[in-house]
Amino acid sequence: MRHIRLYILAAVAILAASCKSQYEVLLNSNDVDAKYKAAFDYFESGKYNKAANMFESLSVLTSGTAKDDTVQYYWGLSNYNFKDYYTAETNFQKFTTNYPRSPFSENARYLRLDCLYRQTLRYELDQTPTNVCLAAIAEYLREFPVNDHLDDCDRMVKELNQRLDTKAYESAKLYYKMEDYLAARVALRNVLKDDSDNIYREDILFYTAKASFKYAQLSVPAKQRERYLTFVDDYLNFKGEMPESKYMKELDSLYERAQRALGKRSESYQKEIKEKEFAKERRKLEKALKAEQAENK
């Protein structure tokens, strides 16, 4: 009985071995030339996952040979085409470190940038990958100032910087939404202190002024004068820089209210008062005239 079991197990093992696919056989073999040809056949036919596995296995056998940089590069390229950008980035990083003078080096450097770019996150999330990618692009452009990917690099830089600008602006504006107006003004001013060219500069200056006004408005009377004057400074700064802004009308209205609170009257407010006084006097005259006409009847 025991012998029968051994025969059965042996038969199963032989059957299993015979059922192995050509891919599995090659993957586990040490035939460099056959594996090399098969890896490129899989790559050319678009079977990138199999190609990546074959190149990975082959890299152990070609290490230190003339084929090594080609195998290492196509290992990364297979993972890239398979959309495994994390592994591909690791492949290309290792490749450019080990083979800086390879004819594949520049393209490997660019493809690594593209992998880093594809791993960045939307602005609400951690922007560490964004900063890593921007630093890598800057390094690439320093080493290869003339290359075929300048437009793509420019596009990536603009989009990533816009993401950082949005992150900074929305994070600061969150204090305004939470009605913490003092913290909002400080945070918004710090955004422009760190990056004066933030694409949301107009909005940041607007919410800085609004935060100043609301902070003054909600302050105790003893503190209001000083804080309304801070708003006036923010208002004049905004008006001097962006007199045609879509926000100007709203800020003008707040400025009028601040002037009233400060016990002052602007030209437009004085004009408004005069018009109201004139209308009031006119109504009095009309009323008196009607009364006089009624008596004469």
Residue by residue, DSSP assigns 105-119 as: HHHHHHHHHHHHHHT
Q: How far apart are CA 238 and CA 224, in angstroms?
A: 21
Neighbours of 129 (CB within 10 A): 16
pLDDT bracket for residue 159 (50, 70, 90): very high
Helices (H), 63-123: 68-81, 85-98, 105-118
Q: What is the mean pLDDT of the chain?
A: 89
One-character DSSP codes across 211-278 = HHHHHHHTS-HHHHHHHHHHHHHHHHHHHHH-TT-TTHHHHHHHHHHHHHHTT---HHHHHHHHHHHH
Q: What is the pTM of this model?
A: 0.78
Asked if the model's pLDDT at residue 11 lies above 60, the reply is: no
pLDDT bracket for residue 22 (50, 70, 90): confident
